[in-house]
């Protein structure tokens, strides 16, 4: 696996592949890799001639400074994991490479960022859009791979790519879960033993909501999920929403939408986790 820490060297290496018409896949990450990330690498490996993974803990997308400080950084083990799945290139820039000067440009994604993550993490998607834009310009990939766990992020990036005509294909890959259903996340390692035992309740709540939705109204399902989680000490529900999978706007009647997603965010102890599932067929989501 080739390692690059600066833009010029990386682009010089990629030039020959581009001229040869090779398909380049990019998997942007913030490190602390797990099987969910590796599934993205493996998907890119199947579809592309060259796979680039970037690891960069982007400070501009953290609205909570404490979260940035404590975000896990495991570069040594990350490199070993990437090599185990035959990743071709690791791009490992630092802040000076990615932000040689303060960025003044601001993104506004309108209705896409006024709900859920955007509502509770103001400025988050501006930071995401900034760093993804930079990575797309630097690597110029043919395809970019993201996980479904960050569904709202995928919707925002899809809008970014469309509005700015990046000419890249986005691929949304299914959530990879632990055996007990907990969605894999780099933040899971920060859970205490007691909190880790509670964390699967988020996915269980989504599964219950999926069943309830066939016999209850949207508001009734939301109330039932809130009551279900309120009965467990140690879990603080931030939001549970039933939304259109593309616009991410709350729905009133699930039958009126082509695809509907159930999305949840909660604090398990001091750690904030998110999860989601599709209410109906997700085979064609992109």
| Distant-in-sequence, close-in-space partners of 58: CB < 8 Å, separation ≥ 6 | 30, 98, 127, 128, 130, 131
Q: Is 70 annotated as a binding residue?
A: no
Place of tokens 């549970």: 240
Out of 37, 124, 228, 257, the active site residue is 37
31 is in an annotated binding site: yes
CA torsion sign, 96 to 100 to 101 to 107?
Answer: negative
Is 149 annotated in a binding site? The answer is: yes
Residue 35 among known ligand-binding residues: yes
Task: Answer yes or no: is 14 a known binding residue.
Answer: no
185 is in an annotated binding site: yes
37 is catalytic: yes
CA angle 211, 270, 209 (to 5 degrees): 5
Residue 32 assigned as binding residue: yes
| Pair 275, 175: CB distance under 8 Å | yes
282 is an annotated ligand-binding site residue = no
Q: Which of 154, 106, 158 is nearest to 127 (CA)?
A: 106
Q: How far apart are CA 48 and CA 44, in angstroms?
A: 6
To which residue do tokens 């090779």 refer? Answer: 22
DSSP structure string for 203-232: HHHHHHHHHHTTTS-HHHHHHHHHHHHHTS
The verdict on whether residue 153 carries a ligand-binding annotation is: yes
Answer yes or no: is 187 a known binding residue. Answer: yes
The answer to whether 207 is a known ligand-binding residue is no
Annotation-wise, does 148 bind a ligand? Answer: yes
Does 116 count as an annotated binding residue? no
* 224 marked as binding residue: no
* 259 has binding-site annotation: no
- Rounded CA separation 47/246 (Å): 24
Is residue 182 exposed (0-12), middle (13-18) or buried (19+ Cβ within 10 Å)? buried
Catalytic residues: 37
Q: Binding-site residues for ATP, please? A: 30-37, 147-150, 176, 184-187
Q: Binding-site residues, please? A: 30-37, 61, 147-150, 153, 176, 184-187
Q: Binding-site residues for beta-alanine, please? A: 61
């Amino acid at each position: 696996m080739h390692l690059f820490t600066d833009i010029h060297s990386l682009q010089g290496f990629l030039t020959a592949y581009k001229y040869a018409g090779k398909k380049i896949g990019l998997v942007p990450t913030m490190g602390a890799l797990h099987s969910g990330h590796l599934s993205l690498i493996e998907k890119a490996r199947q579809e592309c001639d060259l796979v680039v993974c970037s690891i960069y803990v982007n400070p501009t997308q953290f609205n909570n400074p404490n979260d940035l400080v404590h975000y896990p950084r495991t570069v040594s083990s990350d490199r070993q994991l990437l090599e185990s799945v035959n990743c071709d290139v690791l791009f490992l820039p630092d802040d000076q490479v990615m932000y040689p000067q303060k960025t003044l440009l601001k993104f506004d994604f309108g209705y896409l960022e006024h709900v859920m993550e955007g509502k509770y993490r103001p400025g988050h998607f501006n930071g995401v859009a900034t760093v993804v834009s930079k990575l797309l310009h630097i690597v110029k990939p043919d395809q970019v791979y993201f996980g479904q766990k960050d569904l709202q992020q995928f919707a925002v990036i899809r809008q970014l790519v469309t509005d700015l005509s990046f000419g890249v294909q986005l691929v949304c890959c299914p959530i990879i879960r632990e055996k007990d259903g907990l969605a894999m996340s780099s933040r899971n390692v920060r859970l205490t033993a007691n909190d880790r035992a509670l964390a699967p309740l988020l996915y269980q709540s989504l599964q219950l909501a999926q069943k309830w939705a066939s016999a209850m109204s949207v508001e009734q399902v939301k109330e039932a999920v809130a009551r279900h989680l309120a009965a467990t000490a140690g879990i603080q529900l931030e939001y549970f929403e039933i939304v259109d999978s593309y616009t991410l706007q709350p729905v009133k009647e699930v039958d009126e939408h082509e695809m509907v997603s159930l999305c949840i965010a909660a604090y398990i102890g001091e750690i904030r986790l998110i999860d989601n599932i599709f209410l109906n067929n997700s085979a064609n989501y992109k």
